[in-house]
Amino acid sequence: MYSDSTTTETATRAAVSAVDISKTYGEGEAAVKALCTVSIDVAPGEFLAVMGPSGSGKSTLMHLLAGLDRPTEGNVYIDGDNVTRMKDKELTLLRRKPSASSSRRSTSSPSSQLRRTSCCR
Ligand SMILES: Nc1ncnc2c1ncn2[C@@H]1O[C@H](COP(=O)(O)OP(=O)(O)OP(=O)(O)O)[C@@H](O)[C@H]1O
Ligand SMILES: [Mg+2]
């Protein structure tokens, strides 16, 4: 899946930010490229719809943005913290935080967006 959102200018105030993340499951001939260099910023209070055909990587993206899985490449930030580099124990503590998916710093208004996605194969 590709994202057509390329800006990372708002990364410092985003609740969740992904920078050039890719995800490949498996290795060698069995490797499946689920995400290819996706960048996205989700502002505090923002509602985001991820759309795409079955197998295009929607669940993979959500898992990565939630810190439930690690990207093969790139970085994911939640409230400014790089979850890609966190150890399992740190991730567990992050998931327990009520504010894990909302910013403590921003005062921006809620908004909604629709972003187009497409399969990378
Ligand atoms: N754990 C895994 N191991 C290997 N391949 C996987 C794994 N999870 C997902 N995939 C593959 O990665 C690709 C993206 O899967 P993903 O589940 O993210 O798609 P999706 O857009 O959520 O699909 P759906 O709309 O059917 O829920 C698919 O080709 C899928 O088969
Ligand atoms: Mg899914």
pLDDT tens-place string over residues 23-35: 999 999 999 999 9
**Helix (H), strand (E) at residue 103:** none
Q: Kindly identify the ligand whose nearest atom is closest to the C-alpha of 50.
A: 1
Residue 26 CB less than 6 A away from ligand 1: yes
Kindly report the backbone phi and psi dihedral angles of residue 58, in degrees, each rounded to the nearest multiple of 5, phi listed first. Answer: -60, -50
The SS3 assignment for 29 reads helix
Question: Which residue bears the tokens 């497409």?
Answer: 118
Convert the pLDDT of each residue in 69-105 to its tens digit.
999 999 999 989 999 999 989 988 888 877 654 433 3
For each of the domains in the chain, give its residue range(s) and CATH number, in order of start.
2-96 (3.40.50.300)
**pTM greater than the 0.75 cutoff:** yes
User: Which residue's CA lies nearest to atom 31 of ligand 1?
Assistant: 55
Looking at residue 113, its pLDDT comes to: 45
| 56 CB within 6 A, ligand 1 | yes
- With a cut of 60, say whether residue 109 has pLDDT above it: no
Q: In angstroms, rounded to a whole number, what is the distance separating the alpha carbons of residues 62 and 107? A: 24
Q: Which atom of ligand 1 is nearest to the CA of 23?
A: 12
Cβ neighbourhood burial of 29 (10 Å; 0-12, 13-18, 19+): exposed
pLDDT score at 91 = 87
- Find out whether 3 and 118 touch, Cβ atoms under 8 Å: no
